[in-house]
Structure 1
Amino acid sequence: MVTETEMEILDQLDALNEKIRQTEAYQQYCRYRALLEEDKEVSQLIDQFTRLKLDFEEVQRFGRYHPDFSTKRREINQFKKKLDMHPVIMEYRRSEYQLQALLDEVLYHVSTSVSSNVNVVSSNPFFSVSGESGCSTGGSCGCQSAG
């Protein structure tokens, strides 16, 4: 059963979601995502990269001992660079990063308003508590656990 307080929180989350959708970061992300999906050249590049990746995965099963391992690895790395340098993909990734930064910041502020001891999971070091970083394993992975 959902309480009245929980309903208020859900309503506030809906309002926050709508505000995020109105930001420039979200609008840019949507624009470049649509461009990415509509651009035939990008689609062909992605399809070709997927095929190269599948070929490499097959060769990789045998490791560096496969006669085509180095050739396939070099080929996929060169093609990945070509793909990454395409203007539409570059702008899509930039907009994706900016949107993620916004979402990280929102999550950080919401979390710390609840408690200063909340572990905020983010790859952005700005949002780590007291300069420490951590993960959900409590530091068993070898990282420094926050809190």
Structure 2
Amino acid sequence: MIVNQDMMELLDKADQISDMILQSEAYRTYKQAHNHLVHDQEAQELIQAFVHIKEAYDEVQRFGRYHPDYNNIMKKVRAKKRQMDLNEKVATFKVAERQFQKLLDDISEIIAHSVSEQIMVPKDGIIDGACGCGSGGSCGCQAS
């Protein structure tokens, strides 16, 4: 690959965008919420309890409703998830994470559409314009 003036300018612009992201309020809020979450003993215990029951859930999912502990594990998973989600540090982190992800999605969209309006851009975890079913449109979606 030959590095020319255009490539250098593009790399400089990418560095500028990166610096702007790292200086954004959304990033600072996300980083602060993450630090509070990591250092909160109660939140970490709730997360670990959820991870532990999620492992049992994954085992039960292999057999689905036919597993003898299916209903019991499903109730426990929902209860642990709710307990974890109601923790102030976890909830604050999730809000900050969504706001930061939105910023990144918006930046991706601006960059992609500056190249071509036809470029599909991930937004809210899915690619805009695709259903995400993986069937290639056989479900009747408008996959391009």
TM-score w.r.t. structure 2 length?
A: 0.85
The residue that corresponds to 1:29 in the other structure is 30
Report matched runs for 1:26-105 at 5 Å: 26-105=27-106
Looking at structure 2, the residues matched to 111 and 25 of structure 1 have their Cα atoms a distance apart, in angstroms, of 21
Looking at structure 2, the residues matched to 63 and 136 of structure 1 have their Cα atoms a distance apart, in angstroms, of 23
CA deviations 1:8-60 (Å, max 9, x no partner) are 11111111111111111110000001111111111111111111111222233
Q: Which amino acid aligns with 2:136?
A: S
Q: Which amino acid aligns with 2:121?
A: V
**Alpha-carbon shift at residue 136 of structure 1 (Å):** 8.7
Unpaired runs of at least 5, structure 1: none
Q: 1:136 to 1:6 in 2, by over 3 A?
A: farther
Looking at structure 1, the residues matched to 132 and 4 of structure 2 have their Cα atoms a distance apart, in angstroms, of 29
Q: 1:8 to 1:144 in 2, by over 3 A?
A: same
Looking at structure 1, the residues matched to 39 and 54 of structure 2 have their Cα atoms a distance apart, in angstroms, of 22
Conserved 8 A contact 1:121-1:135:
no
The residue that corresponds to 2:4 in the other structure is 3
Q: 1:16 to 1:139 in 2, by over 3 A?
A: farther
Tell me the percent identity: 33
Looking at structure 2, the residues matched to 110 and 23 of structure 1 have their Cα atoms a distance apart, in angstroms, of 18
**Alpha-carbon shift at residue 112 of structure 1 (Å):** 1.3
Aligned residues: 141
Conserved 8 A contact 2:50-2:77:
yes
Conserved 8 A contact 2:102-2:124:
no
Match of 2:130 among 114, 117, 134: 134
**Cα RMSD (Å):** 2.5
TM-score w.r.t. structure 1 length?
A: 0.84
The residue that corresponds to 2:143 in the other structure is 145
Unpaired runs of at least 5, structure 2: none
Q: 1:137 to 1:46 in 2, by over 3 A?
A: closer
Q: 1:65 to 1:25 in 2, by over 3 A?
A: same
